A = this chain, B = another copy of it.
Amino acid sequence: MQGQSQQQAYDRGITIFSPDGRLYQVEYAREAVKRGTASIGIRAEDGVVLAVDKRIRSPLMERSSVEKIHKADDHVGIASAGHVADARQLIDFARRRAQVNQLRYEEPIDVESLTKEITDHIQQYTQVGGARPFGVALIIGGINKHGEPRLFETDPSGTPYEWKALAVGADRGDIREYLEEHYHEDIDLDGAVGLALRSLGSVNESGLRPEGVGLATVDVETEQFRMLTDEEVEEYLVDLDLLASEDDDPDEADETDDEE
């Protein structure tokens, strides 16, 4: 009880530390991320894969409008988990930065530079008063100018991390365990797509449906972001024996990604 009422004293103003040096508002923004469905990123030798768990509230909703993977630039894709409206702001921010870089330096923005511009932007919302933190985590994947695949995460504190493979959002713990067990550094893009789907499948016991999965790649050859079609996804799911029958009721949509 004592602990609880003490905590309450420090968690409402974003610009203050608690006595043990924590920023509660940032931690609560992380909870908003966990309320979102899972997003996964995997770096292969020849590209990066982004895969997301898409829950559609109703068959009448256009699936594209709950898209959680976005093209930030020709060579960069971003997957998100958490508060959808916040994610859109950050993705717009990313696109504008990519365009400005192209205009100013006449070359594509570096994936790492882009990530750090985004995390700088996020950090400001955790230190200066008058606004709340962004309730979203991003997975940023792309190819840098040396033709190398890069994969980054941004978290609500504004810290960038680079990963070989990661998951954010709901079930992130289980998916990460699966990835740690099955990922190997010389995986190729095709294998990474498979791993991404299998890791998603590992937390969806009744299997996956093509319309419940978003999948995109950026490969080192074309350096182009590409969303996979439903048919391509379905092919993978069949091959991987992950295809759920159409009648199966997908799990209840999580609240943050598809808020009612």
Binding site for B on A (CB under 8 A): 6, 8-26, 28-35, 58-62, 64-66, 82-86, 88-89, 92, 116, 119-120, 122-123, 125-135, 152, 155, 157-166, 176, 179-180, 183, 255-256, 259-260
Cβ B17 vs Cβ A164 within 8 A: no
Q: Can you give 19 A-B contacts (C-beta < 8 A)? A: A13-B16, A14-B15, A14-B16, A15-B130, A17-B25, A20-B28, A21-B28, A21-B32, A23-B32, A58-B166, A64-B162, A65-B163, A84-B157, A85-B122, A86-B127, A88-B123, A88-B159, A92-B120, A128-B130
Instruction: State whether A129 and B126 are in contact (beta carbons under 8 Å apart), knowing that A28-B21, A163-B61 are contacts in the complex.
Output: no
Q: Which 3 A-B pairs have the closest CB atoms?
A: A21-B31, A21-B32, A65-B162
Most buried by B among A10, A35, A162, A180: A162
Closest CB in chain B relative to A169 CB, distance in Å: 11
Cβ A176 vs Cβ B60 within 8 A: yes
When distances are taken between beta carbons in the complex, the residues of chain B under 8 Å from A163 are 58, 60-62, 65
Cβ A19 vs Cβ B23 within 8 A: no
